[in-house]
Structure 1
Amino acid sequence: QYHWQRSFSALGKAGDNAWSESFFAIMKKELIYQIQFKDINDLRAQVFAYIETFYNRVRVQARLDYLAPVAWLSLYDQASQKVA
């Protein structure tokens, strides 16, 4: 349905992890290094809030035509339904 493919890259090839490495680098710059956390529960809550309320819904990304991921997925779903 989603046309996903497994990664078949050779062991030690960083290309497969590029998207996750990029995400974690951005999160560290925009959140982790900016806040003094009270404890592990505060850290977890802040990371969850960052991902769910900012990164996925507000933060625009060049690779998604300068849309936030949720907005891009909405347009993608609409386009997919028109084709079907």
Structure 2
Amino acid sequence: MTKEALIEALGKEIRARRKLKKLTQAGLALRAGIHSNTVSLIERAETEAGIDALFEIANALGISVSQLLKSAEDRLNAR
């Protein structure tokens, strides 16, 4: 597993969970207290999410950071 692959899987996991909650990127950003462009960049794996942003995103999605990372790893290992 490469760092880049995990970042990409994490972005896909965030997008999938956001859509399950029927949130737009702007809606998730508002709940997480971050800029909507940041959500977009993270979902497209064009930037690395810092621990603060990951914590806020996970919290806004109703899960823990560890659950989010584990799901991203599972997504990566499933392909």
TM above 0.5, yes or no, is no
User: Higher RCO, 1 or 2 (CA under 8 Å, sep at least 6)?
Assistant: 2
Report the TM-score, using the length of structure 1 for normalisation. 0.29
Report the TM-score, using the length of structure 2 for normalisation. 0.30
